[in-house]
Amino acid sequence: MKTIQKMLATIGIGAAFCLGATFPAASAFADVITLKNGEVLDGTVERDEADFIVIKITKNGKVETRIISKDDIKKREAAKPAATPATKPTTPAAPSTPAAPAKPAEKNGQEAKPAPTGEKTASAPSGEAKDPKASTKPSDRALTGRAMRIAFLNFGNPLRDQGAGGDMVGVHVSAKAFRDVLPILEKEKVDIVVIRINSGGGYTLEMERLSSLFQDVYKQKFRTVAWIESAISAAAMSPWVLEEFYMMTNGNIGGCTEFAGSAHRPTEGAALEVRLSQMERFSRLAGRDPKIMRAMQIQEPLSCTIDEFGNVTWFQDLTGEIIVNRAKEVLTFNAPMAVKTKFARGIADTREELASAMGLTEYEFVAEEATKMMDRYMLEAQRIEESMREMIRKYQLAINVAAGLPREERGPEVGRARKHLGEIKKMVDLNPNFQFHFGIEFSPAFFAEQEQILRDLMK
Amino acid sequence: MKVQSGINLTAVLLALAAGTIGGARLSLAQDVDPNQGTKQIEAEVKEKNVAKWDDPETTRVYVIPVRGQFGQNVTATPLKRALNDAKKEQPDVIMVVIDCTFTINGQTYQEWATGAGEIVWQSNALPTAGELSTLFHEGIRDDAEWKTRKGEKPRIVAWVKHAMGPATMFAMSFREIYMAEGAHLGGVGYLDQMMNDDGGSQRVLEKWRGARLGRFTGLLQLGGYPEELARAMARSDTLMSVDFQGGKPVFREDLAGEIILADGADETRRDTLQDLVRMKGNDVLTMDAELAKKLGVSKGTVNSEDEMVASLGIERTYAVRGDRAAKEMIRWSREVAQAEQRFAQRWREFNQIQVNGQTATERNAQRGKRLGILNQIKRDLEMYKESINPQAIRGAPQQWVSEINVIIERLKTEMRLDR
């Protein structure tokens, strides 16, 4: 696996990092940063946080923004005072963002302006531009200058939706929905799928389905990345097979201890070992040290040391230089620590920032239909969750009423019961887990039995 | 802080809060007054220099008061309405004045009752704070219509007057905070003791605690504050102190620094009641205005609008608006309180209607009246569900809606069959 260090070295982040008008322009200052790998960055530090800095540099005539972990910095010196005033903070919503990056196409299907022949994109390894028609592979497209087509799929409704729609894995978030949306992604010739995660977890059963789908299908067809707002428990485990994680500023990921219903029923013994082993395998599929997930599942300490070349060595104890998880706690990562330890490749709060963090300069956001389909699924699943018990009671009411009537008068009430039963079946069909989620086994045999009851009422 | 032998202060505080310690009623809890939120926010925003609002030289300040009970008076709908009005005015500065009671699940605590922090973590406060913070962050960032007259995004500042408990989680998502004298940020401690008394697996409990701390830290990260502060504020099994190098705080996980932030992990230094009542407790970190400034959380201590404006560096004429925003917040609180009162009243009306008419027509008319009342109750529940206190109506709004739908179905069935 490419180390994060190598990725950072090859990535030129095109878009300016959004700070909004709350960030005073006067705090930008010119610096010369020497990294531990020898690279020297001469530019303007736009943001200086506890664990990372954001610096704008000019490279090959293009302005790039780099996010640098402070652990990678060997030396920092003030540059000679610049004659020009400090740049104002940029706003991604405003179309007039300065300098290098090509603006993303605003509508699906619009081709962004291709790079001139022979010009290399910042994310491309060295090599000559190829005939755009020669290959449709995402990796080849990066070389051809064609815009990368990025689709966003929500895994749990974003916080900004104020609780509309749900986020439970296995209830509102399901592998079925992610599978159903594939034809749209393929039709739209999507190159990159971003799984935007805001979820507190859910069913382990569904986690396994999602992991398999991401590993066996998504990763084979698309560059698939996780973009984390909050990914707890099964929501962290489901995408664990993905190699690329990006965090939002407020992002958090971890807390993967399994239990059955309450704190009094933790997974233990052989079942726990099976789960730990499974996640070790998922870690290997992602090229990730399995100690990280282990500290998210059980109370294991975790630390790491980053050498002068930026390589991270993990320890399942506290002997490393950076304490990541204390002994009696269960790990949940936050964004700065995730980036510092190179678990995550970058921090991004907007789609444009994410594209830049992924090393893209030519891109377009596509497949809005797929995004909406996933969102509609979550909303519908939430509606079902809220109304299923009510529907069951209405069904029971109709049956009881019918049973209390003379046979010749039962027709309308049996019809009503059948209608409610049909609604219940439709609800269950949305998500296979609904067969058991409500405490009633909604199996095919159940529905067959109910149909028989309704027929018997009419005899 | 000296040892207090054998007393579990958290338990004492919570018992006091619940009024379960006998004798003189030293209750920290206050009976919930449905109009409490309304009373607290009767104070309007004092608009100023409105006539100069359109003057290009005037700095526009739009005030949004966040007052009352966080999660009840302060929820998404009124805030969105307030922000929508602010957007139309194109302010240069949005000043969010946070003046919230230390209320959790309808129970209000005195500010020194930091032990109630454990309950904060079990409530809806954290997800609510996360959701509401998006209104001020990405809600403004991603909306192209949000711009000043110069086409920039407005500057957003938070002025903290009272924000213990749930409101602290919200306040600390702001990058620019000013505090009033006597204000505190805290009341979100004892996460490490959350649900300890229930006897469940510590592994599962630590998962929940870690996840919550992660989300809380995320909110602080939005504000640009270090994760060490989140830990010191949240976990009482922490030792944290701070040194200052070049004016910047450097945190250490021991007590050897210049200022001790949290020492709850040292059992010999547990807070006493005397410490707590004087807001000197430090088992977990509670920041007063001075400490918040030292730690770089607060940009300054301001006690008046003039001081605030000066602290913001506004040198030219400024104008203040926000009366409409204040009225939106007040109106919402009043409507929620009235909806809660109507709930019980309407159920009484419903029960008073007997279905005992002589004819089917009469009986169905009576049923029709019942249906009308049920639909009114449903309307209130659906409209105000984000703010209605489940304790006030003895159940979650959504559960009530489902229940009412079944009763409606039953009534309609009776009407069909009664001919």
Q: What three-state secondary structure class fits B210?
A: helix
Interface of B with A in 151-180 (CB under 8 A): 151-156, 173, 175-176
**Residue A28, pLDDT score:** 52
CA distance B149 to B376: 44
From A424's Cα to the closest Cα of chain B, the distance in A is 15
The token pair at A120 is 């290399």
Span B390-418, average pLDDT? 94
Residues of chain A with pLDDT under 70: 1-29, 47, 49-52, 60, 62, 64-65, 67, 79-145
Reference B285, options B168, B387, B366; nearest CA is B168
Give CA separation, A84 vs A56, B57, B336, in Å.
15, 25, 55
Partner residue facing B221 (CB), from A91, A299, A334:
A334
DSSP class of residue B74?
Answer: B
Which residues are CB-neighbours of A449 under 8 A, at least 6 positions away?
none
DSSP class of residue B313?
Answer: T
Q: Are B160 and B171 contacting, i.e. CB atoms less than 8 angstroms apart?
A: yes
Across the interface, whether the CB atoms of A249 and B141 are under 8 A apart is answered: no
Which residues are CB-neighbours of A83 under 8 A, at least 6 positions away?
none
Q: Is B247 on the interface with A (CB under 8 A)?
A: no
Element (H, E) at B191: none
Does the pLDDT value for residue B7 go beyond 70?
A: no
Chain B residues touching residue A22 (CB < 8 angstroms) = 153, 155-156, 175-176
**Residue A88, pLDDT score:** 33
Taking CA–CA distances from A236, the nearest residue in chain B reads B211
Q: Is B204 on the interface with A (CB under 8 A)?
A: yes
Dihedral angle over CA of A39, A40, A44, A46, nearest 10: 30
Q: Is B409 on the interface with A (CB under 8 A)?
A: yes
Span B181-194, average pLDDT? 95
Q: Is B208 on the interface with A (CB under 8 A)?
A: yes
Which of A18, A103, A106, A162 to mutate to test binding with chain B, by most B CBs within 10 Å of its CB? A162
**Residue A309, pLDDT score:** 93
Q: Are A297 and A273 contacting, i.e. CB atoms less than 8 angstroms apart?
A: no
Does the pLDDT value for residue B263 go beyond 60?
A: yes
From B56's Cα to the closest Cα of chain A, the distance in A is 18
DSSP class of residue A246?
Answer: E
CA distance A331 to A340: 15
Q: What three-state secondary structure class fits A328?
A: coil
Does the pLDDT value for residue B29 go beyond 60?
A: no
- In this prediction the ipTM stands at 0.89
Interface of A with B in 177-206 (CB under 8 A): 200
Which residues are CB-neighbours of A396 under 8 A, at least 6 positions away?
none
Chain A residues touching residue B170 (CB < 8 angstroms) = none
**Residue B154, pLDDT score:** 97
Q: Is B150 on the interface with A (CB under 8 A)?
A: no
Which residues are CB-neighbours of A133 under 8 A, at least 6 positions away?
none
Q: Is B235 on the interface with A (CB under 8 A)?
A: no
CA atoms within 13 A on the CB side of A430: 24
Find where tokens 């726990």 sit: A272
Highest averaged pLDDT of the listed ranges A30-44, B19-33, B201-215: B201-215
Highest averaged pLDDT of the listed ranges A166-175, B66-75, B190-199: A166-175
Chain B residues touching residue A327 (CB < 8 angstroms) = none
**Residue A87, pLDDT score:** 35
Per-residue pLDDT band for B419 (boundaries 50, 70, 90) equals confident
Per-residue pLDDT band for B242 (boundaries 50, 70, 90) equals very high
Interface of A with B in 408-437 (CB under 8 A): 412-413
Q: At what angle do helices A368-403 and A444-457 cross, to 10 degrees?
A: 40
Across the interface, whether the CB atoms of B218 and A50 are under 8 A apart is answered: no
The token pair at B228 is 């060490």
Taking CA–CA distances from A48, the nearest residue in chain B reads B224
Across the interface, whether the CB atoms of B417 and A253 are under 8 A apart is answered: no
**Residue A83, pLDDT score:** 43
Taking CA–CA distances from A258, the nearest residue in chain B reads B204
CA distance B225 to B248: 12
**What integer best gives the mean pLDDT of chain B?**
89
The strand pairing partners of B97, in sequence order, are B65, B159
Q: Is A328 on the interface with B (CB under 8 A)?
A: yes
**Residue A47, pLDDT score:** 65
Does the pLDDT value for residue B85 go beyond 50?
A: yes
**Residue A59, pLDDT score:** 73
The token pair at A356 is 């830049």
Which residues are CB-neighbours of B181 under 8 A, at least 6 positions away?
B289, B301, B303
Which residues are CB-neighbours of A253 under 8 A, at least 6 positions away?
A228, A230, A231, A232, A236, A245, A247, A332, A333, A338, B214
Does the pLDDT value for residue B88 go beyond 90?
A: yes
Which of B80, B203, B212 to mutate to test binding with chain A, by most A CBs within 10 Å of its CB? B203
Q: Longest C-alpha distance within chain A, in Å?
A: 97
B198 or A295, greater pLDDT: A295
Interface of A with B in 378-407 (CB under 8 A): 386-387, 389-390, 393-394, 397-398, 401, 405
Give the pLDDT confidence of A353-379 residue by residue, as tens digits.
999 999 999 999 999 999 999 999 999
Find where tokens 């930026």 sit: A310
Interface of B with A in 291-330 (CB under 8 A): none
- Judged on CB neighbours under 10 Å (0-12, 13-18, 19+), B269 is middle
From B314's Cα to the closest Cα of chain A, the distance in A is 13
Q: Are strands A40-48 and A52-59 parallel, antiparallel or unpaired?
A: antiparallel
Partner residue facing A386 (CB), from B200, B202, B398:
B398
Q: Is B345 on the interface with A (CB under 8 A)?
A: no
Q: Is B413 on the interface with A (CB under 8 A)?
A: yes
Q: Are A76 and A55 contacting, i.e. CB atoms less than 8 angstroms apart?
A: no
